């Protein structure tokens, strides 16, 4: 299940989650973000055992977005051991998003 996180919840997840963490930085007003949402959730249903999937609203978590250099959305970042290992900017169809995530697991 995709978890919606605030900054404090995300920082806790970075400390405690052993699996890779896939983060969708998004906003409610963003058209491509709305298109990516169902795709992201579908990929999570297939890969959710292998990684933690979270969404972070950049408007509600401005400091977190700045901390990770998010200037355009949607932006999917993959974290391993608390560090960003890869990112995917913009909308991606399911096969592309799934392949991007799988290569980082």
* Active-site amino acid positions: 30, 33
57/82 Cα distance (integer angstroms): 19
């Amino acid at each position: 299940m995709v978890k919606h996180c605030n900054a404090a919840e995300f920082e806790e997840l970075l400390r405690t989650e052993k699996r890779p963490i896939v983060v969708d930085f998004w906003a409610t007003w963003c058209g491509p973000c709305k298109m990516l949402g169902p795709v992201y959730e579908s990929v999570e249903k297939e890969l959710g055992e292998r990684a933690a999937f979270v969404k972070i609203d950049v408007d509600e978590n401005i400091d977190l977005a700045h901390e990770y250099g998010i200037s355009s959305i949607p932006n999917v970042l993959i974290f391993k051991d608390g560090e960003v290992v890869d990112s995917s900017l913009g909308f991606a169809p399911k096969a592309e998003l799934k392949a991007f995530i799988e290569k980082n697991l």
